[in-house]
């Protein structure tokens, strides 16, 4: 059975990127609903979309955080 990535979606929504995290949570819910209906093909599609959005949110959050730290360090010491 495909993973629904609900926990990951909520975590990236709170800590990384609100918009893509919310969309990932919607796809996570769609994965659960498809599994409840027994539609494995649709659950796989929604699971892949949720995973992709979670990874995009995570990388965007990491990029933003690292960029912010570099900016602060450079502005303090230059």
Residues spanned by the domain of 23: 5-77
| pLDDT per residue as tens digits for the range 42-70 | 999 999 999 999 999 999 999 999 999 99
Query: Angle formed by the axes of helices 18-37 and 40-77, to 10°?
Result: 160
pTM of structure: 0.89
pLDDT tens readout for residues 10-42: 999 999 999 999 999 999 999 999 999 999 999
Total number of domains constituting the chain: 1
């Amino acid at each position: 059975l495909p993973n629904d990535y609900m926990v990951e979606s909520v975590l990236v929504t709170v800590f990384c990127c609100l918009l893509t995290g919310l969309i990932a949570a919607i796809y996570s819910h769609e994965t659960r609903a498809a599994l409840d209906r027994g539609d494995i093909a649709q659950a796989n599609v929604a699971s892949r979309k949720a995973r992709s959005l979670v990874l995009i949110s995570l990388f965007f959050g990491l990029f933003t955080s690292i960029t912010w730290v570099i900016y602060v360090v450079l502005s303090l010491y230059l």
